[in-house]
Amino acid sequence: MLLGFCHYYHLSIVFTIFVVITIPNFRIMAKLQTGDKAPDFKGKNQNGNEVCLQDFKGKKLVLYFYPKDNTSGCTAEACSLRDSYSDFRSRGYEIVGVSPDSEKSHIGFIAKNSLPFTLIADTDKTIAAAYGVWGEKKMYGRAYMGIIRTTFVIDENGIIKDIIEKVDTKNHARQLFSN
């Protein structure tokens, strides 16, 4: 019994240390809703230049969060937005994608798919956490932390006008225009 207790106690310490070391210290925020002020953000784009929400003051912004460069769903979503980019621009929208991929990965993803918009490398997931899209996901019965695919439409004053949580990756541009 004592041996079992010691083994359990040892595992508890290891598990506690593992959890503390591997889970970043994110601020828990209430879920964002339409009408809320968009959280300010600051991150590096594919060229290493700093991009922040204030850069888009006076402009409408489609801020989309996606899990990973060069995956089928993320490529379909990016290409849907690319194919309608001129329509977005004619309606006064800028588009910015955010994922935890590196700047180097974004450069390759942009080149491979001829993407005309900026991608932010949120490698520390602080932007995703601020927008409430870093969370637990499940696939094939396995739970893990990742980006919850979500798009925010932000107006010229930094107010969230729409949130799309059930993204249709192949038809995302059409989905945005229909809202």
> What domains appear along the chain, each with residue ranges and CATH number?
26-178 (3.40.30.10)
Helix (H) or strand (E) segment spanning residue 83: helix 72-83
Q: ∠ CA(138), CA(125), CA(158), 5° rounding?
A: 110
Q: Which of 112, 64, 70, 109 is nearest to 88 (CA)?
A: 64
30 falls in which pLDDT band (50, 70, 90)?
Answer: low
Residue 72 burial (10 A CB sphere; 0-12, 13-18, 19+): exposed
**Active-site annotation, residues:** 74
Residue 138, pLDDT score: 87
Which pLDDT tens digit goes with each residue over 113-123? 999 999 999 99
- Residue of 163, 165, 161 whose CA lies nearest to 147: 165
- Tell me the whole-structure pTM to 2 decimals: 0.82
Residue 26 has pLDDT above 70, yes or no: no
